[in-house]
């Protein structure tokens, strides 16, 4: 028995503190998973809706009162499930919402994490992007609210940001669907 259990423990990696086994944690559906994360009110749900359209289901995260949306989309023949996580400020959870968002990241092991930020407040939100990169999550940074960012006279050099962070960066105005097609291209590239 011990011989069978040991490899599972060794393979658990970053969720070593969890009571789940690798078999329980892995997604057996074979479908790719994308998680949308970020602080509240940055436009995560608008982006989720832009990507999934009407194909979404809202449910409680198991064992909690926290609601979340899941939707399925197909980008260039890749079928994927997108999860709109509750808002979170860092990987160190304080609220129940943050605990759920953290569980989704560390236990569901998404193939891609989209960190949505408000471009106006990029400086304040970048430390969380760094945490995601350090946690070795396949991360894509979405600079949303670029209409307000530009109106505030803030210019962001996307190429420079991409090379400094070493991850893809996309700018969007989700409410106007600006940048959503480019976002889909970057999502596709992130799976290659
Ligand atoms: N000006 C502007 N408002 C946006 C943009 N994206 C979202 N919003 C608005 O920001 C608010 C919060 O959006 P929501 O998707 O609920 O944020 P969430 O809490 O991150 O899921 C809503 O009133 C949206 O209409 C954007 O690109 N520009
Ligand atoms: Mg939301």
Q: Per-residue pLDDT tens, the chain, 192 aa: give them.
A: 333 332 332 233 333 333 333 333 334 457 899 999 999 999 999 999 999 997 899 999 999 999 999 999 999 989 999 999 999 999 999 999 999 999 999 999 999 999 999 999 999 999 999 999 999 999 999 999 999 999 999 999 999 999 999 999 999 999 999 999 999 999 999 987
Ligand 1 atom nearest to CA at 40: 19
CA of 59 to the centre of ligand 1 (A): 21
Ligand 1 contact via 175 beta carbon (within 6 Å): yes
Per-residue CA distances from 150 to 53, 119, 121, 145, 155 (Å): 27, 9, 12, 9, 7
Q: Helix axis angle, 180-190 relative to 44-52, nearest 10°? A: 80
Ligand 1 contact via 188 beta carbon (within 6 Å): no
What residues contact 130, with CB distance under 8 A and at least 6 apart?
165
Ligand 1 contact via 87 beta carbon (within 6 Å): yes
Q: Which of 84, 118, 175, 179 to mutate to test the pocket of ligand 1 (most atoms within 8 A of CB)?
A: 175
Ligand 1 contact via 120 beta carbon (within 6 Å): no
Q: Give the number of the ligand closest to the Cα of residue 116.
A: 1
Residue whose Cα lies nearest atom 12 of ligand 1: it is 41
pTM exceeding 0.75: yes
What domains appear along the chain, each with residue ranges and CATH number?
Answer: 31-190 (3.40.50.300)
pLDDT at 86: 95
Is the Cβ–Cβ distance between 94 and 13 less than 8 Å? no
> For residues 48 and 12, what is the distance between their CA atoms, to the nearest angstrom?
29
Ligand 1 contact via 46 beta carbon (within 6 Å): yes
Exposure of 50 in the CB half-sphere (CA atoms within 13 A):
20
- Dig out the tokens for 37 from the structure: 């994360």
> For residues 81 and 33, what is the distance between their CA atoms, to the nearest angstrom?
5
pLDDT at 29: 59
């Amino acid at each position: 028995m011990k011989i069978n259990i040991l490899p599972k423990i060794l393979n658990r990696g970053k969720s070593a503190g969890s009571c789940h086994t690798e078999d329980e944690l892995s997604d057996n559906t074979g479908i790719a998973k994308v998680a949308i994360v970020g602080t509240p009110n940055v436009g995560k749900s608008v982006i989720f809706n832009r990507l999934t359209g009407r194909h979404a289901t809202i449910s409680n995260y198991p064992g909690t009162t926290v609601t979340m949306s899941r939707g399925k989309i197909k980008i260039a023949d890749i079928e994927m499930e997108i999860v709109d996580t509750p808002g979170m400020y860092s990987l160190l959870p304080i609220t129940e919402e943050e605990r759920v968002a953290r569980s989704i990241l560390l236990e569901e092991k998404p193939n891609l994490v989209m960190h949505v930020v408000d471009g106006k407040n990029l400086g304040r939100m970048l430390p969380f992007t760094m945490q995601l990169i350090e946690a070795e999550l396949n991360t894509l940074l979405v600079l949303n609210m670029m209409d307000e960012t530009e109106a505030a006279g803030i210019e962001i050099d996307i190429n420079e940001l991409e090379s400094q962070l070493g991850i893809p960066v996309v700018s969007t105005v989700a409410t106007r669907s600006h940048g959503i097609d480019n976002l889909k291209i970057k999502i596709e590239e992130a799976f290659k």
